[in-house]
Amino acid sequence: MKSFNDLKFTYHEGTKRWTASLTLDNGYLFSVIAGDINADWSVPYGIYQNETFEVAVFGTEFHGNGDRKMVPLALYDDVLGWQKPIDISKLMRQFHLDGKAHEDLLIAMREEKKKEFNLHKIKN
């Protein structure tokens, strides 16, 4: 089973960010980024030197333009910030084991929250 340790980070000097991506055997794509502690504060939700990261997950379905659909990882955001390596490994395990069922649950939770605030008529 794949985990955080399987990610291979690349540093991008221009943006002062580290990035890595990994696709699970069931097709879910994990994108993990972190900023540089020495950069300004326009960094992602994570600092590489502090071992905190921002993670996004892309599902197995695609938009009409060919882009993968993002899985909403939080009620109010598509990404999770300030995640430790163990948190990302746990998320990978969850998607490895439950895949589409977990994605459907997260989407349903997001829709429920949107209805609570009468935002369900607004398209993402």
CA–CA dist 50, 43 (Å, integer) = 13
Average pLDDT over residues 50-59: 97
pLDDT band at 83 (very low <50, low <70, confident <90, very high): very high
Enumerate helices (H) and strands (E) in the chain, giving the number of each. 1, 6
Percent pLDDT > 90 in the chain is 77
Phi, psi of 76 (to 5 degrees): -120, 5
Q: Quick one: pLDDT at residue 113?
A: 86
Q: Is the pLDDT of residue 40 over 80?
A: no
Contact 78, 59 (CB under 8 A): no
Mean pLDDT of the chain: 92
User: 72 exposed, middle or buried (CB, 10 Å; 0-12, 13-18, 19+)?
Assistant: buried
CA–CA dist 28, 50 (Å, integer) = 26
